[in-house]
Amino acid sequence: MLRLVNLRDLSPVTELRVPVLVIGSGVAGLSAALEAANRFEVLLLTKAEAGESNTSWAQGGVAAVFSPKDSVASHVQDTLHCGRGLCHEEVVRAVVKAGRGAIERLIEWGGSFDRLSSGELRLGMEGGHTAERIIHAGGDATGNELQSVLLRRVAGNPRIRLMEHTIVLDLVVHENRVLGAIGHHDNRYLLVRAAAVICATGGCGQVFRESTNPEIATGDGLALLARAGVILRGMEFVQFHPTTLYIAGSSRMLISEAVRGEGGILRDKNGVAFMEGLHPRKELAARDFVSRAVLQRIVETGHTNVYLDVRHLPPEFIRSRFPQIDRVCRNFGLDITRDPIPVAPAAHYMIGGAVVDIDGRTNLRRLFAVGEVSCTGLHGANRLASNSLLEGLVLGVRVGHAAAECASLEESEGFHLPETRAPTRWQDPHFSSKDLCNSMKSLMWRHVGILRDGTGLAEADRRLESWQTLADSVCRNRPREWEIRNMLLVSRLITAAACARSESRGVHFRTDFPQEDARSCEDLEVWLNDENGIDIRWVPIRAGIGSGDGSELVCGGSGE
């Protein structure tokens, strides 16, 4: 199995030994580090600056039950229904039940959330939810507030050492145990020996041409886990957000689900409110349904985008509720109180990831994963809006506690670096890693995007394997080229899973198999074999998922 670097050739190298290593500084990684630091010293590594993560970009809120008109049972049911039969109900119940406590803890730590004049938390509505339970901060800056609160706690904790601008390349594995990790920091390799390792590196949205994710979301964690021998689940399930800003010269900034939750209307270039009649909940249908509807309307009208219209809402309310969106749009000469917002779908969230239990344990000893890089079964085939920040807060604490328990039983130990297969590199003056990356992104968007079919997936699989072989031979030991190799591997894993699931379920839509198939209501797991190929197996979902007899939720139905 190929590694990013030959571990025997590390030079120059800095060596560290710690009880607990945490990789990633989003809400899940920070929560895990804080909990583990209650017992042990923690080293926290992050690829960019600590404040730069998918968490900090999150405009949406945190879903938690606070309203007397809401209930844990209702939130659980909404999550199960959105997950189309692939949610693991015990995980859903545990996470939802702990949601209120997680928010109250943040408030104790100084978190500031939007409130009504009465002082009560202001609760919003988003797609897929049947009750107002979405908590926001700063209107559309919830992720930034969560990140700020947690980073302040980390900065004030003497047991946590934070190292920024450190990319983790590979895990050190021996006899099914993870002994540490290899990173790169300040032009030196970093060898960390750890008793427990937590991977919380986030998602991989940058493998697609259109993405709401920051540039750092290159799937590094998914790739290093796969290379280490970790089993991955649900890699076919990539959630696409239906509304991202579509203006020439702008990044594909997310236009929050909450805009539709507050009454925003989707219109085509002719002003037609096209969600009318397509779904009973119109703009508040689940994201996969809305994304496909938006894409279909774009094709039908021959226009580059559709529009999100909030002009019927009070201008003062819009500006105070969505200050970030208002500010960015104004920079491009757009007044959202008078002009409809041009939007189009983009890749948003990786539902799949490392197979873990509710405490984040992987199939390798001493290795844990949490957040977007993991797959607990909470989201099933389609993530319910605002459940991801909730997952990071709740399960981050559980995983941090479990890793500390592991560190109390194990010790960071000395070891000889294992033999690895490193590619033979050759230089080609005509090779362009930038061109390869752009080609990969376009291929993934075209064939492994919102709409998929067997022919396109087979073509993508063939090209990606060829490109990965090329990149492994040509790419040099530079951070950007390490990222490109990671993205190619993750793209292969997504494509292989999408090829294998010959049905449509949740965010995975096959135009050649447009219906849910009761026989395919199983988890799909993938992993790298010793020849660098991809192996696949199906794992049955336990009976009893859903409400009542569970038949509609477990085995399909029309869904959203």
CATH of the domain at 460: 1.20.58.100
Tell whether 447 and 335 lie within a shared domain: no
Q: Which residues carry out catalysis?
A: 287
User: How much is the average pLDDT of 436-451?
Assistant: 97
Do the domain assignments include residue 534?
yes
Do the domain assignments include residue 250?
yes
Select the more confidently predicted residue: 317 or 54.
317
Give the domain-ending residue among 321, 348, 375.
348
Tell whether 437 and 330 lie within a shared domain: no
Range name among 279-293, 458-472, 520-534 with the lowest pLDDT average: 279-293
d(CA 122, CA 262): 12
**pLDDT at position 202 over 70:** yes
Do the domain assignments include residue 454?
yes
Do the domain assignments include residue 206?
no
**pLDDT at position 214 over 70:** yes
Predicted pLDDT at 553: 28
Most trustworthy range by pLDDT among 80-94, 115-129, 135-149: 80-94
Tell whether 344 and 440 lie within a shared domain: no
> CA 5, 7, 13, 16: dihedral to nearest 10 degrees?
120
Tell whether 342 and 442 lie within a shared domain: no
CATH of the domain at 274: 3.90.700.10
Q: What pLDDT, in 10s, does the model give residues 163-178?
A: 999 999 999 999 999 9
Do the domain assignments include residue 96?
no
Confidence class of residue 558 from pLDDT cuts 50, 70 and 90?
A: very low
**For the chain, how many residues are written?**
560
Name residue 297's amino acid. Answer: R
Per cent of the chain over pLDDT 90 is 79
Do the domain assignments include residue 251?
yes
If one counts the domains in the chain, the total is: 2
Select the more confidently predicted residue: 48 or 525.
525
Select the more confidently predicted residue: 559 or 172.
172
- What is the DSSP annotation of 116-156? -TTSSBPEE--TT-SS--EE-STTT-HHHHHHHHHHHHHHT
Do the domain assignments include residue 95?
no
**pLDDT at position 56 over 80:** no
Do the domain assignments include residue 217?
no
Domain of 451 in residue numbering reads as 433-554
Give the domain-ending residue among 292, 323, 348.
348
**pLDDT at position 557 over 70:** no
Q: What pLDDT, in 10s, does the model give residues 374-417?
A: 999 999 999 998 999 999 999 999 999 999 999 999 887 766 66
- Reported as half-sphere exposure (CB side, CA atoms, 13 A), residue 339 has a value of 13
Give the domain-ending residue among 327, 348, 369.
348
Q: How far from 169 is each of 84, 207, 221, 476, 485, CA to CA, in Å? A: 35, 18, 9, 13, 11
Tell whether 548 and 440 lie within a shared domain: yes
Tell whether 342 and 437 lie within a shared domain: no
Tell whether 341 and 444 lie within a shared domain: no
| DSSP bridge pairs for 374 | 354
